[in-house]
Chains A and B, each alone.
Chain A
Amino acid sequence: MDAPAQISGNGAHAPAIRRIIDRAIEAGQGALDEHSGKLVLSELGIAVPKSVRIGPYDGAHGRIAALRPPFVLKALSSEAVHKSDLGAVRLGLANAAEVDAACAEIRARMAQAGKALTGFLVEEMVEPGTEIVIGGVIDPQLGPMIMLGAGGVFAEILKDVAFRLCPIEARDACEMIEGLRMAPILKGARGKAGADLGRIRDALLALGGEDGFFTAHADRVEEFDLNPLIARHDGLVAVDCRVVLRGVGK
């Protein structure tokens, strides 16, 4: 993974992020595609896997030379879709030929499901760690609210989550971490290396703090999920992200 940037909630990124969101809204998109979503995260200093975006009918040969295998392939869509439910994610691809074959399969599946396919994201696979989720949702009475929880595909079954209203302070971020049942795992249970808790705290603040992403852009962002984020002792990487936009087709 790349050298971690400074995770920052200082608001300097706001204009760049606003441009990304506005572009998507102008294009009539109900959600940021994963590529745009990860651009937003990069602006915030939240690490994402090294990746290359290719068009829906592009071949991978020559385009993914800068990436180190194994690869992850994901369908890009301007609609909010549960990619794993659709089979629109493939892991552990060894070379460009395998990527191309997987692309063809996913194209067929997306067409069958009637979902708009805008391209593919080829990413380096992230080293394993603890999966967490950070998300945001707007409460009809109290406004934007941020969530931290046990992540992965079973997040909704585990329901090990902590919510706070935006904006949050560092104290809130720390209490959210401490409040999870999985907190001992994040801290390093039974001889296993823990996660970098300071980095999780900073990510929460960059997303839900005083000038954070969701606090600042809740007028256009309806919900978001970073799931999973891979938390390790040496970093925090957003492997997937979903940003649902407001006011489009609603």
Chain B
Amino acid sequence: MSVVRMQAPSQVLKEFRPLFRPDSIAVIGASANGTSAGNRFIRVLRDCGYRGRIFPIHPSAAEIEGIPAFRSLAETPEPTDYAYLTVPAKNAEAVLAGAGGRLRFAQVMASGDPETHHAWEDRLRELARQGGFRLVGPNCMGTHSPHGGYTFMEGAVIEPGGVGVACQSGGLGMDILRRGQNLGLRFSGLVTLGNSIDVGPSDLLEYYLHDPETRVVGLYVEDVKDGRRFQELVRKNKGRKPVVLLVGGVTGLGGKAAASHTGAMAGTDQAWRALARQTGMVLTDTLDTFLDALQLCLWLQPKPGREPVVTLFGNGGGASVLATDALDRAGFGLASPSPAAREEYARIKLPPGASLANPIDLPASVLKEEEGRVAARILDINRTLTAPYATIIHLNLPVILGYRHVPGFLPNLLNSVLGGADGADSAPHQILVLRSDRSEEADAWRREFRRAAMERGVPTFDEIPQAVDALAGFRGYEEFLSAIGHANSPPANRSTA
């Protein structure tokens, strides 16, 4: 499999620098009257505080959005690092043909006419080759690069983070950005790749794997283009940097006539599942599970080889019972409190209704004890003396809000449940489930709790089963790490041993 050319990491980082940290951005498709997508992009660049030079390109306008315009990419005072093209497909070629070797990256938003787009894309690819620039797209939405101080999306948080995303769909890229940032994810980059006629998912995967700012890679792919190279990259990574994958179009091959049993049972879905198993990638199948997996991979320290036993902590007896079932189905067990933990729990005087076995079930009326600080004591004992693989803390906020009149209760409770996220190797994975009834008040408190959790690097979920599923996916990654740490010995065999 060593047929694929690999570049040195420094070379990869250097090649993509103009895309992720452009010194200059040309905007093609803004107009003097100020209503087009190009104008919107210039205003977004301004709002997010982009510090490089902006070159509006226009055949006749002298000034666009108050910035001097140029007639072509050949006439800008310095070469352009990144050109953002919102012009219609038929105009893109002339613009790029005029770059005259003075362009590093072009991103083309337009999509070609369905009848002729293959020929159009071939011509664009050829222009990129001749002009010595890389082409992102076509049929995409833009690039979000907080490290480069720019974004394509109005309202995007420009604060840099550790999640690097490549997305073969523009709209889904925006969903990832919007929903992700509300979950507390911050990005090292998010590139919408569209039809990927030049820059493809493998290029971005390679970049993010080498980029020191990126701690977890997230990819949405429909057609990976160069499967060999993609595969070689993730095989070489060996799980060192977590990779979360959302693959679209995996169920579409059902009609293929196969000449063998194997062919009849194989499909794209099996191929991606296989690759995930072989490389430790976390494979997801919805936007939400993709974002959930990114949260865990970003914030949890892998604990390979740990027995998967969990402490459940929270208010809601029925919810705990259902959670126990969800854990069981996902292959987790409940952690038995250690004798030392039981001894410590016995010293805590609690009103009736509380149970300190596992699940630890504390009604809101008990959680309010010690102005909400009792949770911290219990969780501390669980963390240090029982030391499970993970602790899932679930708070049913509407019920808890019934005690909002107790001074300091809610802030103290929040501090209590976030106290264990110190990242120590021995500490359990800490996960917070914030259950709401969708009332305005409960949702507002959920946002506040979530904001505090993200600052501490604690993953948050709306419901317990969702947290359990995400943890099971992360567990697959940990099991891969644990498996590659062991020798390739044959499986135990009772009959011939």
Identify the A interface with B (CB < 8 A): 31, 80, 133, 135-137, 139-143, 145, 147, 149, 155-156, 159, 161, 163-165, 167-172, 174-175, 177-178, 187-188, 193-198, 201, 222-225, 227, 233, 242, 244
B496 near A233: Cβ-Cβ < 8 Å: yes
29 residue pairs bridging A and B, Cβ less than 8 Å apart: A80-B259, A135-B261, A135-B263, A137-B258, A139-B271, A141-B268, A141-B271, A142-B230, A145-B266, A145-B271, A149-B265, A156-B265, A159-B265, A164-B277, A165-B274, A168-B278, A169-B488, A174-B488, A174-B489, A177-B491, A187-B493, A193-B495, A195-B495, A197-B493, A201-B490, A223-B258, A223-B259, A223-B260, A223-B263
| Of the residues A133, A135, A139, A168, contact of B268 by C-beta under 8 Å | A139
* Interface of A: prevailing SS: mixed
A137 near B266: Cβ-Cβ < 8 Å: yes
A227 to B278, CA, bound (A): 25
A110 CB, nearest partner CB in chain B, Å: 17
Q: Which residue of B lies closest to A147 (CB)?
A: B262
Q: Which residue of A lies closest to B484 (CB)?
A: A171
Query: Which B residues between 217 and 241 are near A, CB-CB below 8 angstroms?
Result: 223-224, 227-228, 230-231
Across-interface contacts of B265 in A (CB, < 8 A): 147, 149, 155-156, 159, 161
A145 to B259, CA, bound (A): 15
A222 to B258, CA, bound (A): 10
A163 near B491: Cβ-Cβ < 8 Å: no
B226 CB, nearest partner CB in chain A, Å: 9
Further 11 A-B residue pairs, CB within 8 A, beyond A135-B260, A137-B263: A80-B260, A133-B262, A135-B261, A141-B271, A147-B266, A164-B274, A165-B278, A177-B491, A187-B493, A194-B493, A223-B259
Q: Which residue of A lies closest to B1 (CB)?
A: A167
Identify the B interface with A (CB < 8 A): 1, 223-224, 227-228, 230-231, 258-266, 268, 270-275, 277-278, 483-484, 486, 488-496
* Interface of B: prevailing SS: helix
Across-interface contacts of B491 in A (CB, < 8 A): 174, 177-178, 197, 201
B464 CB, nearest partner CB in chain A, Å: 27
A170 to B223, CA, bound (A): 29
Q: Which residue of B lies closest to A167 (CB)?
A: B1
A195 to B492, CA, bound (A): 11
Across-interface contacts of B231 in A (CB, < 8 A): 142-143, 165
B488 near A223: Cβ-Cβ < 8 Å: no
Across-interface contacts of A137 in B (CB, < 8 A): 258, 260, 262-263, 266
Q: Known contacts A156-B265, A165-B231, A194-B493; is A145 also within 8 Å of B274 by CB?
A: yes
Q: Known contacts A139-B266, A174-B491; is A194 also within 8 Å of B496 by CB?
A: yes
B259 near A163: Cβ-Cβ < 8 Å: no
| Of the residues A139, A159, A175, A244, contact of B260 by C-beta under 8 Å | A244
A156 near B270: Cβ-Cβ < 8 Å: no
Q: Which residue of B lies closest to A135 (CB)?
A: B262
| Of the residues B271, B483, B495, contact of A163 by C-beta under 8 Å | B271
A143 near B495: Cβ-Cβ < 8 Å: no
Across-interface contacts of B223 in A (CB, < 8 A): 141
Of the listed residues A156, A163, A164, A170, the one surrounded by the most CB atoms of chain B closer than 10 A to its CB is A163
B192 CB, nearest partner CB in chain A, Å: 20
B496 near A198: Cβ-Cβ < 8 Å: yes
A227 to B230, CA, bound (A): 32
A196 near B259: Cβ-Cβ < 8 Å: no
A201 to B264, CA, bound (A): 23
B261 CB, nearest partner CB in chain A, Å: 5
| Of the residues A142, A149, A227, contact of B272 by C-beta under 8 Å | A142
A225 to B258, CA, bound (A): 11
A165 near B493: Cβ-Cβ < 8 Å: no
A133 to B230, CA, bound (A): 29
A136 near B262: Cβ-Cβ < 8 Å: yes
Across-interface contacts of A196 in B (CB, < 8 A): 493, 495-496
Q: Known contacts A163-B270, A227-B261; is A143 also within 8 Å of B493 by CB?
A: no
Across-interface contacts of B260 in A (CB, < 8 A): 80, 135, 137, 223-225, 242, 244
B475 CB, nearest partner CB in chain A, Å: 15
Q: Which residue of B lies closest to A169 (CB)?
A: B488
A233 to B496, CA, bound (A): 7
A194 near B495: Cβ-Cβ < 8 Å: yes
A133 to B259, CA, bound (A): 15
| Of the residues B258, B278, B490, B496, contact of A174 by C-beta under 8 Å | B490
A133 to B488, CA, bound (A): 23
B496 near A223: Cβ-Cβ < 8 Å: no
Across-interface contacts of B496 in A (CB, < 8 A): 194, 196-198, 233
Q: Known contacts A141-B227, A145-B271, A165-B275; is A233 also within 8 Å of B264 by CB?
A: no
| Of the residues B228, B261, B495, contact of A155 by C-beta under 8 Å | B261
| Of the residues A133, A201, A233, contact of B261 by C-beta under 8 Å | A133
A171 near B488: Cβ-Cβ < 8 Å: yes
